[in-house]
Amino acid sequence: MTLQSRLRDVESRLMDACRRSGRAREEIQVIAVTKYVSTAAAEAVVRGGIGHIGENRWPDAKEKWETLQGQAVFHYIGSLQTNKVKDVVGKFDYVHSLDRLSLAEAIQHRASLLDVTLQCFVQVNVSGEQTKHGLEPDQAAAFIRELRAFDRIKPIGLMTMAPYESKPEDTRPIFRSLRQLRDDLNRTTEWDEPLWALSMGMSNDFEIAVEEGATHVRLGTVLVGKEDTEGE
Ligand SMILES: *Cc1c(COP(=O)(O)O)cnc(C)c1O
């Protein structure tokens, strides 16, 4: 499958999911996850009209960022160690994996030095899988309240990863729970600005996530392919 046909295919599947759920296509930002592919492939994605790039490790992202900075918005979607924060802040516009205060402190420190602000998703482990990062859902409210002390961090919403399911439909309760958590947080707490964003949905399950209210879908394999994974 060529990139053009993958882009078209994803677009029509997104439109169908929007139609099924009465949503507008503009409510959903596609993030092309380029971690599996070369810089040239990432450039082709951006030329193809997807202006948002997601990466989960700085060594894999570096060359792409150097090549595409200013042409694409960069999202850091992987788990982030505090000693890697210096690589990310100032380059990435969004972090999707904020899940602990030590990380918030490191981001705040670096962002103040560089005089920038970082938009962040608070990662929540809805599925309860041991292998997944993120806060327990019932820890989210207290954590986000603590983020008020960090003026360089702007929490915009929540992120989660669903377990891989052979029947994508089985992910629906996870995505629905994340949306309900966001709505509960907004109802029960006075934030400076309501949390609006939901980063959820990957290649296997993005249509379900869109039906359940995703505002950002993170698409690797289904959109950009997986050319560089031989030997991994
Ligand atoms: C790799 C990755 C994705 C994309 O995965 P695909 O299944 O290839 O779409 C999305 N989100 C995160 C956090 C990832 O690490």
CA of 216 to the centre of ligand 1 (A): 12
Residue 29 DSSP SS3:
strand
Per-residue pLDDT tens over the stretch 173-211: 999 999 999 999 999 988 888 999 999 999 999 999 999
* CA–CA separation, 3 and 9 (whole Å): 10
Residue 70 zone, left/alpha/beta (φ > 0; ψ -120 to 50; rest) = left
φ, ψ (nearest 5 deg) of residue 80:
-120, 120
Query: What total number of domains does the chain contain?
Result: 1
For ligand 1, the distance from its centroid to the CA atom of residue 55, given in whole angstroms, is 9
Query: Does 120 reside within a domain?
Result: yes
Residue 38 is part of a domain; what is its CATH number? 3.20.20.10
3-state secondary structure of 92: strand
Specify the DSSP element, H or E, that contains 12: helix 3-21
Give the distance (Å) from ligand 1 centre to CA of residue 47. 21
Residue 87's identity, in one-letter code, is D
Pocket test for ligand 1, best of 6, 50, 77, 228 (most atoms within 8 A of CB): 77
pLDDT digit string, tens, across residues 15-41: 999 999 999 999 999 999 999 999 999
| Domain housing 16 | 3-224
Position 47 in a domain: yes
Pocket of ligand 1, candidates 31, 56, 95, 222: which has the most ligand atoms within 8 Å of its Cβ, to mutate? 56
Largest CA distance in the chain: 49
> How many Å from the N-terminal Cα to the C-terminal Cα in the chain?
21
Query: pLDDT of the chain along its 232 residues, tens only?
Result: 899 999 999 999 999 999 999 999 999 999 999 999 999 999 999 999 999 999 999 999 999 999 999 999 999 999 999 999 999 999 999 999 999 999 999 999 999 999 999 999 999 999 988 877 899 999 999 999 999 999 999 999 999 999 999 999 999 999 999 999 999 999 998 888 899 999 999 999 999 999 999 999 999 999 998 874 443 3
Q: Is residue 176 part of a domain?
A: yes
142 backbone dihedrals φ, ψ, rounded to 5° = -65, -40
Tell me which amino acid residue 126 is. V
Is residue 144 included in any domain, yes or no? yes
pTM: 0.96
CB-ligand 1 contact for 221 (6 Å cutoff): yes
92 assigned to some structural domain: yes
As a residue count, the chain comes to: 232
CA angle 93/99/23 to nearest 5° reads 60
For strands 118-123 and 29-33, give the pairing.
unpaired
Q: Is 230 part of a structural domain of the chain?
A: no
33 pocket-lining for ligand 1 (C-beta < 6 Å): yes
A 10 A CB-CB count for 78 gives 21
* Domain-embedded: residue 195: yes
Residue 229: inside a domain? no
